[in-house]
Amino acid sequence: MIVCSCNVLSDDDIRAAVAESDDAVRHAKQVYGCLGCSAECGRCARTIKTIIDEALGPCAKSCCSGCPHSPHAANDEPAQEAAQAFALAAC
């Protein structure tokens, strides 16, 4: 199903972006960036967020320390957390 008609993004494209990303994709803006496009009208943002939450499953609310999407997955060094937060913003 086409979710974003401006960028012709399907729900499968969004799920693939979430699954293939090394970082936790949690916002529509991150999906657009990972798929090499940007928001145009924004009407699809709410639907994209719903699809992201479904794709992440239990990780959608918050990740625990054992989750691969967690900033604490590798170790608890503050520098690595800051680097991952920056990477999420850049994605």
Q: How confident is the model at residue 11 (pLDDT cuts 50, 70, 90)?
A: very high
Alpha carbon distance 6, 84 (integer Å): 30
pLDDT tens column, 27-77? 899 999 999 999 999 899 999 999 999 988 876 665 555 555 555 444 444
Tokens (6 digits) for 20: 């293939």
Per-residue pLDDT, 24: 76
pLDDT at 78 over 70: no
pLDDT at 90 over 50: no
Alpha carbon distance 57, 5 (integer Å): 25
**Residue 78 Cα to chain centre, angstroms:** 22
Domain boundaries, the chain: 2-90
* Dihedral over Cα of 36, 40, 44, 49: its sign: positive
